[in-house]
């Protein structure tokens, strides 16, 4: 009596608690993007995130980047989904910052 299905959810409560306790996999990437926005050089900013190092050419504007969010909308995953919503915002801010700095670099400098 008592076996696998005796928790009322067939093990789903264990999955729910594991999903809620697991750290967001996007957190190191968010930290790297935040560091770049703060002016930290790419070589230092991406050290703590393998995903950021992999995406560095896209993040730095050297290659095209498309952000696609594919998620399960089950209640157990809402917190994970919410935590990843910050990534598109950070990527947009960084891209705008890069465009501004490149437009200043290419603008003609006044002569005295």
CA dist 55 and 33 (Å) reads 11
Length of the chain: 112
pTM, full prediction: 0.62
Residue range 41-71, pLDDT digits in tens? 999 999 989 989 999 998 888 888 776 767 7
Instruction: Break the chain down into helix, strand, coil percent, rounded to 5.
Output: 60, 0, 40
| Residue 4 per-residue DSSP state | T
CB 59 within 8 A of CB 94: yes
When pLDDT is averaged across residues 81-88 and rounded to a whole number, the result is 81
């Amino acid at each position: 009596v008592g076996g696998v299905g005796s928790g009322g959810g067939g093990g789903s409560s264990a999955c729910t608690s594991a999903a809620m306790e697991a750290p967001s996999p996007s957190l190191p990437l968010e930290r790297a993007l935040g560091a770049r926005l703060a002016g930290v050089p790419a070589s230092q900013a991406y050290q703590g995130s393998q995903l950021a190092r992999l995406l560095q050419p896209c993040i730095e504007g050297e290659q095209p980047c498309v952000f696609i969010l594919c998620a399960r909308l089950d209640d157990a995953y809402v917190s994970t989904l919410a935590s990843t919503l910050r990534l598109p915002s950070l990527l947009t801010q960084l891209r705008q910052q890069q465009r501004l700095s490149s437009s200043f670099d290419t603008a003609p400098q006044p002569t005295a």
